[in-house]
Amino acid sequence: MRKQVLVITDPETAIGFRLTGVKVCAVVSLDDARRELKKYIDEKQIGLIALSEDFSEAVDEALTNKFAAIVTPLLILIPSGSRLKMGVAQQHMLQKLIRSAIGFDLKLG
């Protein structure tokens, strides 16, 4: 079974991710981001949660422990807005993580 990618990011960045066809949650605060993380952490169809680094503080100790105890969804931090440019090495590493989490390749960049 293929799993879905979920992106949790700011409303401006969310527009671009929606164009790719992934599931997107646009949030404006740490509380919103934490609520979405708690909502989706146990969803079996979600294989990867990409969280904007602007909201990384939403991952409190309880969420950190929960993500550490499960295989999927895999939680990764992504650069925010204009910092989304990645080098080849980072793209390759991220593609491998995505492939192992959701079962298929996702072209980046």
Mean pLDDT of the chain: 85
Angle between helices 61-68 and 30-40 (to 10 degrees): 30
- What total of structural domains would you count in the chain? 1
pLDDT tens per residue across span 25-74 = 999 999 999 999 999 999 999 999 999 999 999 999 999 999 999 989 99
Q: Where are the alpha helices (DSSP H) in the chain?
A: 11-19, 30-40, 61-68, 88-102
Q: Tell me whether residue 109 is in a domain.
A: no
pLDDT score, position 82: 52
Give the domain extent around 61: 4-102
**Whether 28 contacts 11, CB under 8 Å:** yes
Residue scoring higher pLDDT (46 or 86): 46
Nearest to 97 by CA among 24, 23, 13, 5: 5
Residue 107 within a domain: no
Q: Give the model's pLDDT for residue 81.
A: 63
The answer to the question of residue 108 being in a domain is: no
